[in-house]
Amino acid sequence: MKRFCFLCANEARLLGYSSVSHIGAAAFLFAMGFLFLFLLEEYTRFAQSELLAIAFFKAFWIPSLLIIPAITASLFAERLGDRSFASLRILPIRLSSILLGDWLVAYAYYLSLWAIAMLFPWMAQVLFPEIGRSMPFFPLSCALGGYAFIALSGSFFIAIGLFCSSLLRSSLVSGVLSFAFLLAHFLSGEGLRQLEALRGKSFGPPFLSPDFYNVFLQMEDFCRGIIDTRVIAFYLAGTLFFLFLAHLMLDRHSV
């Protein structure tokens, strides 16, 4: 246990020293702040049928495309490129502990950035109290549901990033690959939904329908307090699956 805690602390230190992760974090917070201000202006000018919080959370995929590759691409690819991963394997630490430690550190970093982004509505409430009195920014139930989905899906996204980082020895290429994987996941559900509407018939059984893994509908349901256990099972199983694939790839590099 002490070795695992030491490993997590070391990974957190390396992530803190990474300039790419700092640039990604700054871009993430800037994107979320700009998005909130844009939505706030639109909602004050025109009445909207959808809550501001739901519109804010449904756009979470855009900044996530920036931060996930930034914090995961170099975790394994850089060490595989300079062969420092081989020296790490000499230590009496299991490969699964190394992988889990990197996942936990990146996951905690991702959630901490979202926790900071959640302060933007509070800051707007302080700066623009007259707007806050006329329009509730983030109802508590909506904020809790949105953050719960971010935490759930974030575990899956970080696992995808680690898998892409374990495939290659180039941080840049692994980051691009992670970006492509995430973009495909974000757009596939909505794209298939539109294609299904054009064809006028379903692609398969309800549990495989585009609505089931449409990330935008999933986020909206969580914000409204509608919790689908199939979605929870999907993201948890997906997290374990990609961590398993990353473990297999790292084990091959260790040979």
Cβ atoms of residues 178 and 161 within 8 Å: yes
Cβ atoms of residues 29 and 113 within 8 Å: yes
pTM: 0.82
Tens digit of pLDDT at every position of the chain (255 positions): 555 454 454 454 445 445 667 787 888 888 888 888 888 777 777 766 777 888 888 888 888 888 898 888 888 877 776 666 656 656 667 878 888 888 998 999 999 999 998 888 777 777 766 665 555 667 778 888 999 999 999 999 999 999 998 888 888 888 899 999 999 988 887 776 666 666 655 555 555 565 677 888 889 889 888 888 888 999 999 999 999 999 888 877 665
Cβ atoms of residues 104 and 8 within 8 Å: yes
CB-side neighbour CA atoms (13 Å) of 102: 27
Interacting residues of 188 by C-beta distance below 8 A, sequence separation 6+: 210, 213
What count of residues does the chain have?
A: 255
CA 253, CA 134: separation in Å to the nearest integer? 58
Amino acid at 81: G
What is the pLDDT at residue 17? 44
Tell me which residue of 42, 57, 29 sits closest to 123, measured CA to CA. 29
What is the pLDDT at residue 110? 92
Tell me phi and psi for residue 217, to 5 degrees. Answer: -70, -35
DSSP string, 226-238: ---HHHHHHHHHH
| Per-residue tokens: 213 | 């893994």
CA 174, CA 252: separation in Å to the nearest integer? 17
Handedness of CA 235, 238, 242, 244 (dihedral sign): positive
What is the pLDDT at residue 154? 93
Tell me which residue of 210, 105, 102, 95 sits closest to 165, measured CA to CA. 102
DSSP string, 110-149: HHHHHHHHTHHHHHHHHH-HHHHHHS-S--HHHHHHHHHH
| Per-residue tokens: 159 | 């696992």
What is the pLDDT at residue 181? 92
Cβ atoms of residues 138 and 119 within 8 Å: no
